[in-house]
Amino acid sequence: MNKINFTILLFSLIFVCRANYTAAQQPGGAITPEQRMRRDVTLLASDSLKGREAGTYSEKMASAYLSAQMGEIGLLPKGDHEGSYLSEFRMNFPVLYKKAKLKVNNIEFKHKEEFGATDLSSAADVSAPLVNVGKGQNGNNGKTDLNGKIVVIDIASGLGHESKEEVLASIISRVSSVVKQGAAGVILHNSSRKPVEDVLFGSPFTVSLDVPVVYVARLPYNKMRRLRTANCSLSVEIDRTVSKPANVIGWIDNKSALTVVIGAHYDHVGITKSRKGDDKTPQIHNGADDNASGTAALLELARWAVNNKVLKYNYIFIAFSAEEKGLFGSKAFCSLPWVNKDNIVYMLNMDMVGRLGCQGDTINILGMASSPYWDQVIAELAHPDFSIRKIKGAPAFSDHAPFLKKGIPVIYFTSGLDAEYHTPQDDTELINFKGMTEIVSYIRQFILSAETLPGVPFHKISPFQHIRAYFQTF
Ligand SMILES: [Zn+2]
């Protein structure tokens, strides 16, 4: 992100925060925890943050907001650079935003419906005649002059007999060959019935060739094929400016040798197709419950802990990114050498704490068997207004999992999976903020009670052990 963009971003965030803050305040009264969490969820799950996909500009907006909040709360920054809360990591997953236009003679093709810019594509804007080289296996052998032309290649041959990597390698070699002969752009199509989309789009292996490379689906290609002496204009824009996600980390230094990690992921799945229903139009997935709710709860716990004189351990508050892509943020944090069982007392995870009521008036506490003391801690807490489902295991699909792998006790709070999980309907209107406030105050009691233990011993559990009870409820 360049400096100008960052300045504009911060200004707009400050404006939005102020507006929300004012709206949430009672006339003459102080803002309550429930109002603060409503403000934080409303902002993180607003359409302007576009679903907070890791590695995108909207993730950067969310992380800038969280950094500003952590600063205001008074957490010490624990990012990569002095004074920064951001800790960047690499993600083995490409995030490219592509816009593309394809016009042959006067017919315009629809991007992402009739054609798409492949992962091999470079950004460019070219207008040139079309030349068809069939399967292009021998790269045309110099038979036709390809210099400055847009070359059409049929990628059908051999599909389905090789692995994805082999198919991709064969396509790359054919495209590279025509590019060497001067092709200004490449249009791929597939005359076979074997699907090839997963090789060309969203592949973890991105190789950028030097020209725009698009794939045209079968029916639109038939339309294109009928055009003789076709002139083509092809443009591809690629936004690769943001690709490194970042965890946002602040901490409280109580001068202890031991640290408790409290975490919640702030990323979500961005703009994508719904996993439910027939509508395949990409839509913003705001992820209010998953996991703007846990992130707001994280900030609220930090506000409480920063002023608490009783706490003796150090506390790290970490908003993870790229959880939805495969726990990349929590794995990156756990790969830091000092994050080990000798330094970390336990890890507390909050993932989806905003829908108390969606599974009856119950919250799930997972990872109970990862320390023999957890049962005792829970038993000693004042009984909350909701009921509790204790689950011994902890599934491998949220950010506590890499900690568990390192032999660190975990405890994972969630109000459970709801019907709107990973759909565009996971919105702020459905969040039970009163319930979130009750969950946060319950977790505060848990943290205080864990402080009174002589330590938190670890008990090894497999991620899939004992979680049948959890899944049986859906
Ligand atoms: Zn989640």
Instruction: Give yes or no for residue 474 having a pLDDT over 60.
Output: no
The angle that helices 33-44 and 294-305 make with each other, rounded to 10 degrees, is 140
pLDDT of residue 92: 63
| 3-class DSSP assignment, residue 188 | strand
Cα–ligand 1 centroid distance for 292 (angstroms): 9
Cα–ligand 1 centroid distance for 275 (angstroms): 15
Cα–ligand 1 centroid distance for 55 (angstroms): 16
Mean pLDDT of the chain: 85
Instruction: Give yes or no for residue 427 having a pLDDT over 90.
Output: yes
Nearest Cα neighbor of 180 from 221, 216, 211, 219 is 211
Instruction: Give yes or no for residue 425 having a pLDDT over 70.
Output: yes
d(CA 460, CA 345): 15
pLDDT of residue 282: 72
Nearest Cα neighbor of 212 from 119, 116, 123 is 123
Q: DSSP class of residue 473?
A: T
Q: How confident is the model at residue 205 (pLDDT cuts 50, 70, 90)?
A: very low
Cα–ligand 1 centroid distance for 309 (angstroms): 32
Cα–ligand 1 centroid distance for 268 (angstroms): 7
Q: DSSP class of residue 312?
A: -
Average pLDDT over residues 352-359: 92
d(CA 243, CA 246): 10
| 3-class DSSP assignment, residue 197 | helix
CB 118 within 8 A of CB 124: no
Q: How many CB atoms lie within 10 A of CB 130?
A: 21
pLDDT of residue 254: 96
CB 76 within 8 A of CB 307: no
d(CA 407, CA 412): 15
CA angle 387, 403, 363 (to 5 degrees): 10
d(CA 228, CA 211): 23
- Summarize pLDDT for 128-168 with one digit per residue, the tens: 998 988 887 665 566 788 999 999 999 887 666 677 778 88
Cα–ligand 1 centroid distance for 287 (angstroms): 8
Q: Which runs of consecutive H residues, i.e. helices, occur in 125-217?
A: 164-180, 197-200
Cα–ligand 1 centroid distance for 265 (angstroms): 7
pLDDT of residue 11: 47
Look at the block and give the residue holding tokens 């069939």.
134
Query: What's the predicted TM-score (pTM) here?
Result: 0.70
70 or 90, greater pLDDT: 70
pLDDT of residue 22: 45
Cα–ligand 1 centroid distance for 178 (angstroms): 45
Cα–ligand 1 centroid distance for 462 (angstroms): 20
Structural domains of the chain, ranges and CATH numbers in brackets = 3-93+243-471 (3.40.630.10), 97-239 (3.50.30.30)
Cα–ligand 1 centroid distance for 87 (angstroms): 20
**CA 40 to chain CA centroid, nearest Å:** 18
Cα–ligand 1 centroid distance for 262 (angstroms): 15
Nearest Cα neighbor of 377 from 441, 312, 310, 448 is 448
The angle that helices 33-44 and 433-451 make with each other, rounded to 10 degrees, is 110
Q: How confident is the model at residue 94 (pLDDT cuts 50, 70, 90)?
A: low
Cα–ligand 1 centroid distance for 353 (angstroms): 10
Average pLDDT over residues 267-281: 73
Q: How many CB atoms lie within 10 A of CB 30?
A: 7
Average pLDDT over residues 166-178: 86
Tokens of 443: 């977790």
Cα–ligand 1 centroid distance for 350 (angstroms): 9
Beta strands in 110-258 (DSSP E): 115-117, 124-132, 150-154, 185-189, 213-216, 231-239, 246-252
- Summarize pLDDT for 26-62 with one digit per residue, the tens: 455 689 999 999 999 999 999 999 899 998 888 999 9
